[in-house]
Structure 1
């Protein structure tokens, strides 16, 4: 029983072969249906233009026009009856054919079909009408044939009978053609899927950590986008792994320095001989701890921003939220005599990712306050523009040389000649947070024509 179920599941699993078979069956069914529709339309057009009973009546009328003898007329009618019955046998939907001939001079019946009995065929001449004979519908046609008046009748042919009859005639031909069409298509599919199977085998044989290029060139154009997409994905994975390795290496290198300072100052504090030495060692120890804590916090921020989870925008007053963040930086700015200014509307509603927005503003403020000289100016601007919600932080500090500007967003990169300590992660966090929000970061001019630097970030469209 279990084996039978497993075999049934194997047969019922979706495959391309099954889809091809079903597609061919559907195509043949549509062809069959269209042929039946075509035959039905032809039948309706024939009825509208010139149906068979009328054609046969005209031909028989032409044969009787020159006949003057009653016996000869009867012979013609019997021969025509035999011929008419033969034609009806090939496509008679039921009922019997009826024929009647009268002498126009005396109104006598010269000939009548045996099945007609005492009934008479009547109706307008030169056209086909539908009449009731003995409770059954008939098509009746009448015409003048010289000395004679001719009437013919046959059971009507319905559209359903035409469709049913042609369905049985067409179906065997389609069934005969189906395997002849299926076989080459099946072979083409099997042959066409071989490169895909080769690609799957080549990927399956690779090691768990093997991200090298596949190096497979499929012979068919339809498979080239697939292999190209796989190669791009592997390249992205290689870049991601290399980036992570470099990140771990740089993070370990950056953490090594404050950890070494902490260890050295801890020993110095433990071995201090007087209060001045203890105070100096404690001061340096606190600085090293603060640097290590700041670096750890930035590494955590960067790891969270690198997460593939999508941002979750929240409806907030961006202007008020920015004022709260700037207020936290005011004490550090005042300690160095830095003039910190915020330009924004009283209220600015927007749907934004709050953690990413906070990371952007805090890191831009932290960098501006850290690297400008004492007594400098830092201006934060938040506004709603045509391109969305725009945030900018500009100062009149030493600025960034043009040669270094393309690299300032790299992780752990610190400009040459910088006296202030830092991890080189602040602008990398800003860039990653802006990308997470679907925004962009650009370096712009500072507050002075020849001094300072500014960073403009497109955050989001205001709500």
Structure 2
């Protein structure tokens, strides 16, 4: 029961596009509300600076009094104006209504608002000034004509009052508009997501091993990049699966031969009738085991390089590392009179994927030693600049036919014209390791236009 109660909460907590749209609209309406308040405030300040409402009222009243010659008639005009102003609440100022005072040019009082009591307005001709009346700040405006002196006063309006008053007036309109805008947006989002739902349903209906093209032509332009990306991904997965199936098939085929030899030689060893037969069978058995072990090791190395996980580059002395690899290969080279030479600086620091670089050099070196004739030369060259590290392994052996240069890096491919045993994986490992490090490898003629040369160019610092 506890689990079931949590489900609605989890569903509500799960983010959706509709939720994001609603929140975005709320944020947009909030920004519009702030922008309107800012506009009203700026408009209010500009109105104060250009032509204040108190001045407009003063001009209108003095224009009405211009034709009045009698004090009693002027008092009637002022009383009627004050009553009308109070009724219509033209000022809209809740702090108080407009106070009016009219005197003749000799200073005699014609009319004064009852709220003034004994207070006397002390304005300045043609200007709006501040005056304290009963502890409250008023704007006071004075305008003199030929016969009359008119003074008007209203409570001073602050910017904060403008914001507080209009915030409540604008908000209901925005709240009324919100659902009217939200509904069509929600419908647009819901209808716009239907193609995505159809795409999801089509993918969900496919089998786990179905990597065939989706075959969907989206109506909306925004979905075309998504469909294209999915089609590319499926094509890459199909290629990967095909390569893996071919790799497993070839690996099984290559392992079958040494395993058959091992079984045959083990049978021959157990049934040998003499010591010579046992020794011969044991030698063949050890050779078959060595070949199977070498092939297994290369398969594991190739699988490791196929792994998508990238190793972090390390700073090492590549020249010193190369010397160690050549020293390990030296006994096999000396046994056949092969001359190994390293042409490299005394020290060469570089940021590289060390295991991948080791695979490259070891396999190129083993490949050269395996296929050159006795007494041949193998030269390893190391160079670098600020961006790239170059490695070359060249020999003066039988070489590789130019027509076969591209195929030598294929897995389990072994060239013709020689009877040297091998797995056909060494150069494939080189190609994969070079690709992992963001580099490239090329094949050319070897030393003195004989043999073969492999030239590797690697990006310093890791895969590019």
Place the TM-score, normalised by the shorter chain, in its bin: over 0.9
Check if 1:397 corresponds to 2:397. yes
Q: Which residue of 1 aligns with 2:60?
A: 59
Contact 1:32 1:170 in 2 (8 A): yes
Shift of 1:104: 0.8
Q: Which residue of 1 aligns with 2:101?
A: 100
Contact 2:91 2:98 in 1 (8 A): no
Q: List aligned pairs for 1:106-255, cutoff 5 A.
A: 107-255=107-255
Contact 2:143 2:149 in 1 (8 A): yes
What are structure 2's unaligned runs of at least 5 residues? none
Contact 1:305 1:432 in 2 (8 A): yes
How many Å separate the matches in 2 of 1:128 and 1:88? 21
How many Å separate the matches in 2 of 1:140 and 1:349? 85
How many Å separate the matches in 1 of 2:119 and 2:270? 135
Check if 1:76 corresponds to 2:110. no
How many Å separate the matches in 1 of 2:202 and 2:247? 31
Cα RMSD after superposing both structures: 1.8
Q: Secondary structure at the match of 1:150?
A: strand
Q: Which residue of 2 aligns with 1:388?
A: 388
- Deviation track 1:375-420 (CA, whole Å, cap 9, x = no partner) reads 2111001122244222111111222222111111111111122321
| TM-score, length of structure 1 as denominator length | 0.95
How many Å separate the matches in 2 of 1:393 and 1:135? 100
**Structure 1 residues 11 and 179, CA gap change in structure 2 (3 angstroms):** same
Q: Which residue of 2 aligns with 1:18?
A: 19
Shift of 1:90: 6.0
Contact 1:413 1:424 in 2 (8 A): yes
Contact 2:313 2:461 in 1 (8 A): no
Q: Which residue of 2 aligns with 1:337?
A: 337
Q: Secondary structure at the match of 2:448?
A: coil
Q: Which residue of 2 aligns with 1:440?
A: 440
Shift of 1:168: 2.2
Shift of 1:158: 1.7
- Deviation track 1:38-60 (CA, whole Å, cap 9, x = no partner) reads 11111010001001001111111
How many Å separate the matches in 2 of 1:228 and 1:35? 44
How many Å separate the matches in 2 of 1:256 and 1:4? 60
Q: Which residue of 2 aligns with 1:44?
A: 45
Q: List aligned pairs for 1:404-423, cutoff 5 A.
A: 404-423=404-423
Q: List aligned pairs for 1:300-315, cutoff 5 A.
A: 300-315=300-315
Q: Which residue of 1 aligns with 2:458?
A: 459
Shift of 1:317: 1.6
Contact 1:100 1:151 in 2 (8 A): yes
Q: Secondary structure at the match of 1:143?
A: strand
Contact 1:123 1:129 in 2 (8 A): yes
How many Å separate the matches in 1 of 2:76 and 2:224? 79
Q: Between 343-352 and 425-434, report the one with greater CA deviation.
A: 343-352
Shift of 1:351: 2.3
Q: Secondary structure at the match of 2:399?
A: coil
Q: Secondary structure at the match of 1:347?
A: coil
How many Å separate the matches in 2 of 1:142 and 1:385? 87
Q: Secondary structure at the match of 1:203?
A: helix
Shift of 1:462: 7.2
Q: Between 74-83 and 249-258, report the one with greater CA deviation.
A: 74-83
**Structure 1 residues 322 and 182, CA gap change in structure 2 (3 angstroms):** same
Contact 1:131 1:138 in 2 (8 A): yes
Count of residues paired in the alignment: 461
How many Å separate the matches in 1 of 2:48 and 2:418? 99
Q: Secondary structure at the match of 1:142?
A: strand
**Structure 1 residues 160 and 172, CA gap change in structure 2 (3 angstroms):** same
Contact 1:66 1:146 in 2 (8 A): no
Contact 1:129 1:140 in 2 (8 A): yes
How many Å separate the matches in 1 of 2:142 and 2:458? 90
| TM-score, length of structure 2 as denominator length | 0.95
Q: Which residue of 1 aligns with 2:7?
A: 6
Check if 1:288 corresponds to 2:291. no
Q: Between 420-429 and 440-449, report the one with greater CA deviation.
A: 440-449
Q: Secondary structure at the match of 2:402?
A: coil
Q: Which residue of 1 aligns with 2:298?
A: 298
Shift of 1:193: 0.8
Q: Between 384-393 and 275-284, report the one with greater CA deviation.
A: 275-284
Shift of 1:277: 2.9
Q: Secondary structure at the match of 1:310?
A: coil
Q: Between 420-429 and 91-100, report the one with greater CA deviation.
A: 91-100
Contact 1:387 1:458 in 2 (8 A): no
Contact 1:125 1:143 in 2 (8 A): yes
**Structure 1 residues 10 and 58, CA gap change in structure 2 (3 angstroms):** same
- Deviation track 1:117-144 (CA, whole Å, cap 9, x = no partner) reads 1110012100111111121000000011
Q: Which residue of 1 aligns with 2:269?
A: 269
